[in-house]
Amino acid sequence: MDSSKRLIDILETENTTLKIEKSELEATLKASKVSFTGKKSPDASQVQNRDSSSVSDLSDPSKSFPGKEDMEISLQKMSDDLKKTQQEKDKA
């Protein structure tokens, strides 16, 4: 019984840590999106003069800013870990 309580405490601590890390990553991602959108506000003449490659770069979310893809992968892994931890906690 004592070991079960310790396991639950460990899982709850890990769960809390993962939630905090997830929140921090989401905040960073949101700030990066806002920062990126703020930098990309060209006037109408610049939009017309853009070549198709730069337009396609903007439509590809992985090219929005360096590290975004890694951050999204990390966020997905943490989300999966959180789900797994919650399932283990529910089993205990």
> Alpha-carbon distance 25 to 37, whole Å?
18
Q: What pLDDT is stored for residue 65 in this prediction?
A: 66
Q: What pLDDT is stored for residue 55 in this prediction?
A: 46
Q: 60: left (phi > 0), else alpha (psi -120 to 50), else beta? A: beta
User: If we measure between CA atoms, which residue out of 59, 62, 64, 68 comes closest to residue 25?
Assistant: 68
Q: What is the pLDDT along the chain (92 residues), one digit of tens a residue?
A: 788 889 899 999 999 999 999 999 998 888 888 777 665 544 444 444 544 444 444 455 545 567 778 888 888 888 888 888 888 888 87
Hey, where are the domains in the chain?
1-36
> Alpha-carbon distance 61 to 74, whole Å?
16
